[in-house]
Structure 1
Amino acid sequence: MSDTTPFLDQQLISGSLYGNQQRLAARTGALLSAKTSGRSAAEVISALALQACSSVGGLVLDIGCGRGASTVALARSLPRSRVLALDASAALLVAARHRLQQSGWQAATIQADFHQLPLPAGRAELAVAAFCLYHSPRPRRVLQEIARCMAPGGTVILATKSADSYAALDRLVAASGLDPQAETRPSLYGTFHSGNITALAASVLTVHDVRHETHRFRFHDLAHASAYLATSPKYRLPPGLSGNPTAFAERLSERLPDGPIETTSEVSYLAATVPG
């Protein structure tokens, strides 16, 4: 492995992280069930997109679409635009297509690496890259590739989180002794986060709007927290715990008192245009 963080390990990304949708679905489900405040990211992104789009039938890109939550929101908000969802994971694209089918909205999908998009230059009116650029060791290169695909004056919407998101959960794992170094492990958001999103975007694009929102979470107990913790590859855990929330919860309960766990995450949104 050439990178020191699992979140940049391309074999891991294409394998256990996103080779199927189960881990991401479990992770997202655990977070949503613990969320106590904070707007839906798809809601914010679709509102920003609606403000930006002016032409009828323009091409809209959802880059790193994942399981398609933002794709459906874009298709619903911009029904006369042509939405194209792209992701490197074939499994996640299957999930996105299923979500589109269930919603009744339409979008095309294509498997692609965001470092080299299979698209002509200067065609897209709008591009969204939400919660994905941190999987690149060179996010500026991805921004340059996105800009290549945009029409002059086209809008790019980016979203990410703070590097210290869910820090209370890292402290929990460290305190349990299951990974004493949990608080120092590389963050998922290490290369592209709330602290550098503006500077990176401004090196390629003309930034117009940056918003930071604090999201709050309350996990009911150790078992609830374990449903999320077991999905993270960041920790160095004893055998049998990664991907196994039941075993994770049992080990935590042996070492820590049970009870609610509260944590936060800063979510950042940025809207910019491609210089004309």
Structure 2
Amino acid sequence: MTANPFLDTDRVRHSLYGDADRIAQRTSALARAKTAGPHPASVIADLAATGLRGTVIDIGCGRGTTTVALAERLDPPRLVAFDQSAALLAEAQSRLTGRMGVEFLRGDFHAIDLPNTSVGVAVAAFCLYHSPRPATVIAEIARYLAPGGLSITVTKSPDSYRALDELISASGLDPEAATRPSLYETFHSHNQADIVATCLDVQQIVHHEHRFRFTDADHIAKYVATNPKYRLPSDTHEIAQRLRDTVGNGPVETTSTVTYVVAARR
């Protein structure tokens, strides 16, 4: 087992992304807390609309939120939803039932079975921090991008949700929460453009600050229980009660910077 759970292949395949309900709980808790910042799927779709018409791939598609936005905004002749999780691909497929030209492909994003120069737009949002060598994934994207094709990568700042780290540490639930390395240590807002530039020509960098307000201990517990950075009890009610007993019932406000890098094939 690696120190960073986002780089632990077994955990990524099973406990982190093997259950669509866990991801739904995480995204629902974040959506309820969000007070500022545009929806990433909409931003990605707008950026992708400037790319070539042709095959579009959504790498690390998860439950398909961005895939749906790409389908609706671009209506591409071929849209590939790619993920290594069968459970998440099934969820994405259920959200895109009946839409023509959509394919679902499972595998490892370090080596995707696509021909050279066959893709007009490649999106990799909130997934490359799961690679210990994200430059390898960028090289793979560069291989299958068509001349003039666009790559859109998206990630978060390494200090994302810092206030929650400090709260969990102060509560005694996980005293080391505030000192552990970021989950996004291999691919984050500060190094993303440099990594992309190893194989592609960076065209645009966009930073958006997202703000969140978790209303009370129950709301906080529903989110932090899904965060593998922490070492917490499995019962969200127990987490919430411990928070109330030690640091109060909230609210707590926190931030995350979401960074988009648009790049072109050389």
Report the TM-score range of the alignment, normalised by the length of the smaller protein. Answer: over 0.9
The 3-state SS of whatever aligns with 2:154 is: strand
The alignment status of 1:183 with 2:178, answered yes or no, reads yes
Partner of 1:37: 36
The alignment status of 1:168 with 2:163, answered yes or no, reads yes
The separation in 2 between residues aligned to 1:236 and 1:264, in whole angstroms, is 21
Partner of 1:232: 227
Q: 2:87 aligns with which of 83, 86, 91?
A: 91
Structure 2 gap ranges (5+):
none
Partner of 1:152: 147
Partner of 2:122: 127
The alignment status of 1:6 with 2:5, answered yes or no, reads yes
Partner of 1:140: 135
Contact 1:168-1:263 within 8 A present in 2 as well: yes
The separation in 2 between residues aligned to 1:185 and 1:69, in whole angstroms, is 30
Q: Deviations over 1:92-131 (max 9, x none)?
A: 00000011128x5752111011011111111001100000
Structure 1 residues 59, 4: closer, same or farther in 2, change over 3 A? same
Partner of 1:81: 77
**Counterpart residue identity of residue 4, structure 1:** A
The separation in 2 between residues aligned to 1:126 and 1:99, in whole angstroms, is 21
> Where in structure 2 are the equivalents of 1:7-86 lying within 5 Å?
7-53=6-52, 55=53, 58-86=54-82
Q: CA deviation at 1:80?
A: 3.7
Contact 1:75-1:105 within 8 A present in 2 as well: no
Contact 2:56-2:76 within 8 A present in 1 as well: no
**Counterpart residue identity of residue 253, structure 1:** R
Q: CA deviation at 1:178?
A: 1.1
How many residue pairs end up in the alignment? 266
Contact 1:72-1:105 within 8 A present in 2 as well: no
The 3-state SS of whatever aligns with 1:60 is: strand
Post-superposition, which runs of at least 4 consecutive aligned residues in structure 1 deviate over 6 A? none
**Counterpart residue identity of residue 108, structure 1:** E
Q: Deviations over 1:151-170 (max 9, x none)?
A: 12210001000011000000
**Counterpart residue identity of residue 22, structure 1:** D
The 3-state SS of whatever aligns with 1:96 is: helix
The 3-state SS of whatever aligns with 1:215 is: strand
**Counterpart residue identity of residue 5, structure 2:** P
The alignment status of 1:257 with 2:253, answered yes or no, reads no
Q: CA deviation at 1:47?
A: 0.1
Q: Deviations over 1:210-245 (max 9, x none)?
A: 0000000001111111110000111123xxx13x32
Contact 2:171-2:243 within 8 A present in 1 as well: yes
Q: CA deviation at 1:259?
A: 2.4
Partner of 1:266: 257
The 3-state SS of whatever aligns with 1:29 is: helix
Name the stretch that deviates more: 104-113 or 159-168.
Answer: 104-113
Q: CA deviation at 1:51?
A: 1.5
Contact 1:166-1:264 within 8 A present in 2 as well: yes
User: Quick one: percent identity of the two aligned structures?
Assistant: 52
TM-score normalized by the length of structure 2: 0.97
The separation in 1 between residues aligned to 2:63 and 2:248, in whole angstroms, is 35
The separation in 2 between residues aligned to 1:7 and 1:133, in whole angstroms, is 10
Structure 1 gap ranges (5+):
none
Contact 2:77-2:101 within 8 A present in 1 as well: no
Instruction: State the Cα RMSD in Å.
Output: 1.3
TM-score normalized by the length of structure 1: 0.93
The 3-state SS of whatever aligns with 2:165 is: helix
The 3-state SS of whatever aligns with 1:51 is: coil
